[in-house]
Amino acid sequence: MRTYEKIQLRAFDVRIRDERTGEECDDVIILSKQKLQAAQICGQSSKELIYRAYNRAGFTVLDIGGARKATATLDLEGLFLEAVGD
C-alpha cells in the first residue's frame, strides 16, 4: 500500500554575505510551515529563524523577501525504499 504525506512549504528569497570572503549573493531557503509554526510557539519569528540558520553557516543576512507558498506530496514508501537501498 502506498502512503503519502503532504507538506506545506515556504520559500524565502534571501540576500546574504559570506563572512569568510565578503562576497554578497542571493539564495533561497525553504522551510516547512510546521517548522515555522514551532518557532512561533517558542516566540521566534520566521525572520529570526532564517537569521539564525544563516549565521550558524557563517553568513550575514542582508535582506529577506516575502514567503512563496507551495505544497509537496511525499511518497513515503518510495522514500523508505530509496533510503534502505531496496
Q: What is the pLDDT of residues 21-50, one digit of tens each?
A: 999 999 999 999 999 999 999 999 999 999
Q: Dig out the grid coordinates for 41 from the structure.
A: 510557539
Q: What is the CA radius of gyration of the chain?
A: 16
- Distance CA(24)–CA(46), nearest Å, equals 22
Is 86's pLDDT higher than 90? no
Predicted confidence at residue 82, as pLDDT, reads 93
Residue 12 CB partners (closer than 8 Å, separation 6+) = 28, 29, 30, 31, 46, 50, 64, 65, 66, 67, 68
Q: What is the mean pLDDT of residues 8-32?
A: 97
DSSP H stretches of helix in 15-75: 33-41, 46-56
